[in-house]
Structure 1
Amino acid sequence: MSVDVRGPAVAETASPPASARRPSPGRATAVVVIAPAVLTVALGLWGIRRQNTMWGDESVTYQLARRDLAQIWLTAQHVDLVHALHYAVMHGIFGLFGGGLLTLRLPSVLAMAVAAAGVGLLGLRLAGARAGLSAGLVFALLPQVQKYAQEGRSYAMVCALVTWATYALVVSVARRARWRWAVYGFTMLLACLLHEFAVLALVAHGVTLVVSRVPRPVLAAWSTAGACVVAGLLPLAIRSAGQSGQVSWIGGPVRLPGFLAAVVVGLACARPHLGARGPVRLAALAVPIVVLPGLLLLVASLVKPLFVDRYVLYSSIGIALLVGAWTDHFHRLRRSSRIPSVAVVAVLAALVPPSLALRTPQSRSNDVTALGAAVRETGRPGDGLLYLSGRYRFLTAADPEDTRSLTDLALARDAVSSHTLAGVELPAEVIAARMLRFDRIVVVRGPAGADALTGPQEEAKTGTLRRYFRERTTIQVTGSRVTVYVRDRGPSRRGGPGSGDGGGRG
C-alpha cells in the first residue's frame, strides 16, 4: 500500500486558510495611506513647471515670500492679511531651499499628498480598507485637487489641515479623550489662519455631530473646541474686513459649474447605510462638508460676491469619501461582473483631457511669464512703461529684468519700500506730464472687454494716451495685453494733458 504524501501539501498550498489570505490591519492601513499619497505626488510632479510659467496669484506669493518677515507683516497691514501666515511659511521654505519655481509649488504637492493620505484613513475608519483606498485614490484624481496641488498658494495646505482636523474629529467622538479635542481645535485654527473660509468646515462638522446624535458631552467638547477656534480667528477676521476691497474682482460665482458638477457626483453616490463603523457614519460626515461650505458662501454672495471654488477646496474630501464608499459598495454588489472595471477605465479615460489641460499655461486666468516676455519683446531701452491699472504692476515684478530698461511713468514708491503689492503712484497731473516727455510708451493692461478704469490716475493715463498718442502694436497674452503707443505729432485733441475726460482704450 502506497501513500501519496504530496496530497495534503498540495492542497494546503492551493487553498491557504482565509486568515492567511486576509492582509493584516497594519498592512491594510499602510496601503490605504501610502498609495493615495504616492499617486498624489506623482500627479503633482507631472508637468509641475507648466512650461516654466507662473500666474498672478503665485507671483504674489513668490514676491512676498522673498521679503523678510518684518516686511511681510508691514505689507499685510495694507493688503493680503488673510494670506500673511502662508507668506511667512513660504519665506521660511525659501530660506531653506531657495526661491525657485519648484520650491514655490512643491509644498502644495506635499500638502495635497498628506490630505490624500488623510482621506484614505477617514474612509478606512468609516467604511473599511477598500473604501478608504478608493476614496484616497479618487481624491488624488479629482481635477480640482490636481490643479491646486501645483499652485504656490495656501489652498492645498488648508485642505490638508481640514482633512486631518476631520480625522481628529472622528477619533475624538469615538474615544472621547480631551487631548484629542485639543488636537482637533489646534488643527482647525491653523487651517483658518491660513484661510479664513476654512471656518465653514467647522459648521459642517457641527452638523455632522448633530445628525449623528452624539452624546451631549461630545457636543460640549466640540463646542468648546469650536469656540476656541473662532476666538483665535476673530482678530484676523476683524482686521482683514478692512481689506475687503481685495475681493472686489469677484463679480459673481467663480467656476461654480465645475464645483456643482463635482457636488452632484458626490451626492449621487451618497447612501445612508454607507459606513457603519463607530458613532459617525460616512454619509453623515461627507455630505455636510460637500454641501455646507459652498452653500454658505453662495448665500453670503447675495450680499457681496464671495464664492470662488478654491475657497472651499476642502469639499473635495467629502466628494472623494462618497465616491470611494459607493465604489466599494458597488463592487460588493457586482463582484462577479466586469462593470466596475469598465467603469474605472471609462472614468480614467475621461480624466485624461482635463488633466492634460491643467498642465498648460492657458489653464490659469493669466500668465505673468508670458506678460513679462511680451514687455521685453516690445519695449526698447528708454521707452516709457505704463500700467492700466496700476495693480497690473505686480504681474511684471516677478522678474525685474523684463522691465529694467523701461521707465515706469507712474511709480512714486516701489512695492517693497511702500509695503504694498504694486507700489504707490504719482499724482494724476504728474503722470500726464511725464507721459508727454516720451515718444514711445509700452502699456500693460487688462484683456479686451475688461471693466472701465476709474480714479484720477487712471483717467489721466487714458486721457493723455487718447489725445497725444496712437496705438501701434498689441500683443495678446493670457489675461492681459501689451500695447505700444507712439507720440502723435499731429494737432492735439481738445483739452489739456491729463484733464481726464474719461474713456480711452484702457
Structure 2
Amino acid sequence: MSVDARVPAVSTTLSPPPPTRRPPAMSSRTVVALAPVLLTVALGLWGIRRENTLWGDEAVTQDVAHRDLAQIWQTAQHVDLVHAVYYTLMHGLYGLFGGGLLTLRLPSVLAMAGAASAVALLAFRLAGPRAGLLAGLVFPVLPQVQKYAQEGRSYALVCALVAWATCALVAAVPRRDRRRWIVYGSTMLLACLLHEFAVLALVAHGVTLVVSRVPRPVLRAWGAVAAGVVAGLLPLAVLSAGQSEQVSWIDGPVRPEYFLVVAVVGVALAQAPLGARGPVRLTALAVPLLVLPGLVLLAASLVRPLFVDRYVLYGNIGFALLLGAWMDHARRVWWPARYAWVAVAAAAVALIPSSLALRTPESRSNDVTAIGAAVREAGRPGDGLLHLTGQHRVLTSADPEDTRLLTDLALARDPVASDTLAGVELPAREIAARMLEFDRIVVVRGRGRHPLDDPREAAKTSTLRWHFRAHRTTQVNGARVTVYVRNRDASGKDRTVP
C-alpha cells in the first residue's frame, strides 16, 4: 500500500473569514434627542456676548451672585427671595469658572438645550420620530426661546425643568411606577423653587390628566405628588408675599402679544388629528401647558398686574409640540416630503431678522453698559450723582469704574452693606442738603414709573427744579443721563427758579 493512500488528503479550500461586526447604527431616538441639542447650543453661542453688554436684571444676577452665601441669603430676607436658589447656583458657578458673560449666560444656553431634547422626546413618544425631530428643531428657533436662552436669569432653567418633569409625567402614567412619580415631583418642586409661577405648569398637568380620563389611581398619584410640591413651595410663597413690592413695577401685562399669538395658533393646530392614541394625547398635554399659565396670569392682572412674558416661557414647550406634530401631519396628508422641508427652511429664513435683532443690546429693555458709559462720559471728578428713582441705582452697577469719581448724593448704605439690590438712601431733607453742596450733578432717570408719594424722590426733583438747570442730556437704552448745573446770577450767587 502506498504512502499516498494511507495519508488522507488535505483540503485546500479556505473557509470564509468571520463577518466583521459593524458598530450599531445610531438609534432614531438618539438622533431625535441629540439634533435639537446641537441646534440649540449653536443658536445659543451665536452672539452670546450681545456686544459685551448687560441689561438690568442680569446686572442684579452678577452683583448678588458674587456676594458670599451668607450675604445672598441675608439679602433674600429683604428682597428677591424668589430668586435666592438661582443666585446660590450662580454663586457656585462663578466660584468654579470665574465671573464674566459666558459664565453668566452659558447655563441658560445649556438648560434650553436640555429643554429642546425633552420636547423632542415628548413628541417622539406621543406622535412618532419625525414629529419628535420637527418639534425638537422648532423649539430652539422660536424667538422667545432664542431670547431667554441668552439671559443670565432663571427662566431657561425653569423651562428645562418643566420640560423634563413633563417627560416624567408622561412616562409615569401608563406604568404607574413610583420612582417616576418621585422624579416628576422633585423636578417640578425644583422648578417652582427657581420661580414660583412654575406651579402653573403643575396645574396644566392636572388638567391634562383629567381631560385624558386617566384611571383614578393615576389621578390619586398625581394629586399626592402635587400636594407635596405645593407643600414644599408654600414656605417660599408665604415669605415672598411680603416682598410684593418687587413686582410693583408691573403696571400692566408686559409683552402679552407673543403669548396671545402662539396660543391662538396652537389651539388652531390642535384641531388636526395629531399624535397616536394613548393614555395621554399630544393635544391634551400641549394645549393646557401652552394656554393655561398665561391665561391665569392675564386674568390675575385684572386685579393686580402679574403677567410678564418670561414668567410663562415654558408655554413654548406646548407650542413646539403642536407645531412639530402638525408639520408631520401636514407632510403626510398634503405635502410631498421635499416640499415639507422647503417650508421648514423658508420659515427658518423668515426668522433670521428677528434672530439678528435679539442679539443686539437694543433687544432688551435697558442697557446698563451703555448707561454706565454715558455717566462716565458726562461726569467730572467730584460731581454729584443722583438716581431717579433710587431703585434704578442698579442701572449704574455693572462697572464700578463708571461712577468711582462721582459722589452718590442720596446713598446712605451701599447695596452689599445693606443686603439690598439698590442700597439704602438718606432721608429726604439730607438728600436736598447734600445736593445744594454741589455745582454739577449727573442725574440718571430710569425708564418706568416714578412714585410721586415718595418724599425722597420728591426732594430730588424739587431741588433740581428750584436750584439747577439741565445742561446736557444723553438718551440711552433704558435711561436718560442729564448733567444739571447750579443756577447762578452774574455775580455768582445762587439763584432759584420760581
Indicate the residue corresponding to 2:11 in structure 1.
none
| SS of equivalent residue, structure 2 residue 387 | strand
| SS of equivalent residue, structure 1 residue 356 | helix
Deviations 1:406-447 (A, max 9, x none): 011111101001000010011111111111111111111124
| SS of equivalent residue, structure 1 residue 47 | coil
Indicate the residue corresponding to 1:424 in structure 2.
424
| SS of equivalent residue, structure 1 residue 441 | strand
- Native 8 Å contact 2:80 2:246 kept in 1: yes
Q: How far apart in 2 are the matches of 1:221 and 1:325?
A: 29
| SS of equivalent residue, structure 2 residue 444 | strand
- Native 8 Å contact 1:272 1:283 kept in 2: no
Matched, 1:212 2:215: no
Indicate the residue corresponding to 1:238 in structure 2.
238
Cα–Cα, structure 1 residues 70 and 452, in superposed 2: closer, same or farther, change >3 Å?
Answer: closer
Larger Rg: 2
Q: How far apart in 1 are the matches of 2:71 and 2:480?
A: 31
Indicate the residue corresponding to 1:28 in structure 2.
28
| SS of equivalent residue, structure 1 residue 475 | strand
Deviations 1:253-278 (A, max 9, x none): 11111221122222222146311153
Matched, 1:55 2:55: yes
| SS of equivalent residue, structure 2 residue 443 | strand
- Native 8 Å contact 1:334 1:340 kept in 2: no
Offset at 1:453? 4.0
| SS of equivalent residue, structure 1 residue 443 | strand
Which residue identity lines up with residue 487 of structure 1 in the other structure? R
Q: How far apart in 2 are the matches of 1:286 and 1:42?
A: 26
- Native 8 Å contact 2:55 2:367 kept in 1: yes
Matched, 1:195 2:195: yes
Match of 2:495 among 487, 492, 496: 492
Deviations 1:29-64 (A, max 9, x none): 111111001100000000000100000011100100
Which residue identity lines up with residue 152 of structure 2 in the other structure? G
Indicate the residue corresponding to 2:223 in structure 1.
223
Which residue identity lines up with residue 82 of structure 1 in the other structure? V
- Native 8 Å contact 2:371 2:479 kept in 1: yes
Indicate the residue corresponding to 1:469 in structure 2.
468
Matched, 1:310 2:293: no
Q: How far apart in 1 are the matches of 2:211 and 2:49?
A: 44
Indicate the residue corresponding to 1:281 in structure 2.
281
Q: How far apart in 2 are the matches of 1:148 and 1:285?
A: 23
Deviations 1:444-469 (A, max 9, x none): 1124x854543111111111111111
Indicate the residue corresponding to 1:386 in structure 2.
386
Q: TM-score, normalised by structure 1?
A: 0.91
- Native 8 Å contact 2:56 2:368 kept in 1: yes
Matches within 5 A, 1:101-120: 101-120=101-120
Which residue identity lines up with residue 141 of structure 1 in the other structure? V
- Native 8 Å contact 2:386 2:442 kept in 1: yes
Cα RMSD (Å): 1.6
Which residue identity lines up with residue 212 of structure 2 in the other structure? S
- Native 8 Å contact 1:414 1:422 kept in 2: yes
Q: Which runs of 5+ in 1 are unaligned?
A: 1-22, 496-506
| SS of equivalent residue, structure 1 residue 274 | coil
Which residue identity lines up with residue 156 of structure 1 in the other structure? A
| SS of equivalent residue, structure 2 residue 457 | helix
Q: How far apart in 2 are the matches of 1:50 and 1:34?
A: 26
- Native 8 Å contact 1:127 1:276 kept in 2: yes
Matches within 5 A, 1:248-397: 248-271=248-271, 273-336=273-336, 338-397=338-397
Indicate the residue corresponding to 1:503 in structure 2.
none
Q: How far apart in 2 are the matches of 1:470 and 1:336?
A: 70
- Native 8 Å contact 1:383 1:440 kept in 2: yes
| SS of equivalent residue, structure 2 residue 249 | coil
Q: How far apart in 2 are the matches of 1:282 and 1:494?
A: 68
Q: How far apart in 2 are the matches of 1:468 and 1:140?
A: 54
